[in-house]
Amino acid sequence: MTTSPTLNFDTDWSYAPAPETAAVDIADHYGLFIDGHFVDAKSGATFDTINPATEKELATVAEAADADVDAAVNAARSAYEKTWSKLPAADRGKYLFRIARLLQERAREFAVIESMDGGKPIRESRDVDVPLAAAHFFYYAGWADKLGYAFPGKDTPRPLGVCGQVIPWNFPLLMAAWKLAPALACGNTVVLKPAETTPLTALKLAELIRDAELPAGVVNILPGAGATGSAIVNHPGVDKVAFTGSTAVGKAIARSLASTDKKFTLELGGKAANLVFADAAIDQAVEGIVNGIFFNQGHVCCAGSRLLVEESIHDELIAKLQDRMQTLIVGDPLDKNTDIGAINSKPQLEKIEHYLKLGSDEGAEKWQPDSSLPDQGYFCKPTLFLHCAQSSSVVRDEIFGPVLAVQTFRTFDEAMTKANNTPYGLSGGVWTDKGAKVFKATAKVRAGVVWANTFNKFDPSSPFGGYKESGVGREGGLHGLKEYCALN
């Protein structure tokens, strides 16, 4: 059943380009940020960071190894003992307010660099990533001198010491903010590693932190790949580990910390079910499904990558969804018309393409819109897999791309059983116009974040994190503070 004539936006309806024109300053080379200074790696090693939309190099970046990690942890330890933990709590807060303000002042620059380095549409980095990053610093800044109110029945908590933080490439600046702001507010110092494909905004943030005159060594930023992350996590001078990334790496970190008493928080993978009941507002649900899986090219741990739709509305919903997908513009991340930008890296594109083939091989029906892709760069069409079996790899595995697996259900209980039939438990979505059903369904989904009649909303005051194999601990909000404190 089709609800409207087939749409073809590739004719007279095509949009004129609307590129973001803000000039940005990207240096040819970036060093490691240790003890308040940019320095090269002791080994001299560097790597290139490229623009995934053009495959052109943006800058070379120093790559940290064990000796650099050692220096950074020592700087963080010294800053922790000599300055940061001695500072009046209100002053810690004021430094964080400064960072938030400077980030707001330079928001456009950060947005453009984020889109260039990571491939995400400028509309998203401008309207979501950068404002939310600034809001995170603003939110936790205010907590710094109010920690005595955070934990009923307990005294003002103590900081943990030096935090080792490893962040992913899907929200490079925002994840840095999620990690740094609560750690610093609670009085810890930090060694942070951005992802190897997206180091630039973290390094620009280091410049900004220096401009904010934060005491040297309080924040240290070490670009690098897995080996650098491992060196930070396993450094004996690190008291607390925070990691966002894949479940496989998260488990490896949990194992490697088994013989230590380091605290850790893990934000890992997901395979969220987006449940659409027959009594949902269908057009609204279609928008939510699109936002759930195609936001940020599907490079979202909490993406709504499984669509569970009540059987009676399946055909109507899918027809409307396909019509909507025909209108999605895949292209230049810096174009303000773009809905879906570049896939973050070549290996990630290859992984997604592997699943596109696997889904078909395993019997699901692949559907893609007619839209065209740019000739250059790493791009992928938004994709549906229809009539998926529960055992299909595109239903089981986190693909981390714009790929939606569709299944149906007949009863409420079947919907919940299918939704929870996964080792993940990061997020979920529920679409229904019945208020009582919203609360019943959101309570039954075994996941840390559940969106009712919306999807992929974030806020610094809203705790985020997973059940089961999607992670340990929470980030954001009051509950995010506990991960960076020791309670007496």
Partner 1 sequence: MTPDTDTIVDTATDTSASPRLAVAKTYKLYIGGKFPRTESGRYYKLFTGGADSGEVLANVCLGSRKDFRNAVVAARAAQPGWASAPAFLKSQILYRVAEMLEGRSSQFAAELVSMGLEPDAARQEVTAAIDRLVYFAGWADKYQQVFSAVNPVASSHFNFSVLEPTGVVAIVAPETSPLAGLVSVLAPAILGGNTVVVLASHRNPLSAITLAEVLHTSDVPAGVVNLITGDKPELLPHAASHMDVNAVVYADDDPKPLVALREAAAENLKRIAVRKNTDWVSASAADPYAILDTQEVKTTWHPIGT
What is the contact surface with partner 1 in residues (CB under 8 A)?
Answer: 135, 151-154, 247, 250-252, 254-255, 257-259, 266, 268, 423, 438, 442-443, 447-454, 457, 459, 461-465, 467-469, 471-472, 474, 477-479, 487
Q: Which is nearer to partner 1, 140 or 464 (CB)?
A: 464
What span, in angstroms and rounded, lies between the C-alpha atoms of 53 and 119? 6
What residues are paired with 29 via a beta bridge? 60
Dihedrals phi, psi of 51, to nearest 5 degrees: -85, 115
Question: At its nearest, how many Å lie between partner 1 and the CB of residue 233?
Answer: 13
Q: Which is nearer to partner 1, 35 or 287 (CB)?
A: 287
Q: Which of 144, 168, 165 is nearest to 156 (CA)?
A: 144
Write down the catalytic residue from 20, 109, 124, 301.
301
Q: Which is nearer to partner 1, 372 or 411 (CB)?
A: 411
Q: Which is nearer to partner 1, 95 or 467 (CB)?
A: 467
Question: At its nearest, how many Å lie between partner 1 and the CB of residue 90?
Answer: 22
Q: Which residues, including other chains, have CB under 8 Å from residue 14's CB and lie 6 or more apart?
A: none
Write down the catalytic residue from 63, 114, 124, 267.
267
CA 70 to chain centroid, in Å, comes to 27
Question: At its nearest, how many Å lie between partner 1 and the CB of residue 289?
Answer: 15
Among this protein's residues, is 267 annotated catalytic?
Answer: yes
Q: Which is nearer to partner 1, 215 or 463 (CB)?
A: 463
Four-CA torsion 100, 302, 467, 176, nearest 10 degrees: -30
Residues 167/195, Cβ–Cβ less than 8 Å: yes
Q: Which is nearer to partner 1, 209 or 268 (CB)?
A: 268
What span, in angstroms and rounded, lies between the C-alpha atoms of 93 and 250? 31
Q: Is residue 189 classed as helix, strand or coil in its secondary structure?
A: strand
Residues 396/422, Cβ–Cβ less than 8 Å: yes
Question: At its nearest, how many Å lie between partner 1 and the CB of residue 466?
Answer: 9
DSSP string, 246-310: -HHHHHHHHHHTTTS--EEEEE-----EEEE-TTS-HHHHHHHHHHHHHGGGG--TT---EEEEE
Q: Is residue 69 classed as helix, strand or coil in its secondary structure?
A: helix
Question: At its nearest, how many Å lie between partner 1 and the CB of residue 450?
Answer: 5
Among this protein's residues, is 301 annotated catalytic?
Answer: yes
Question: At its nearest, how many Å lie between partner 1 and the CB of residue 416?
Answer: 10
Catalytic positions, written as ranges:
267, 301
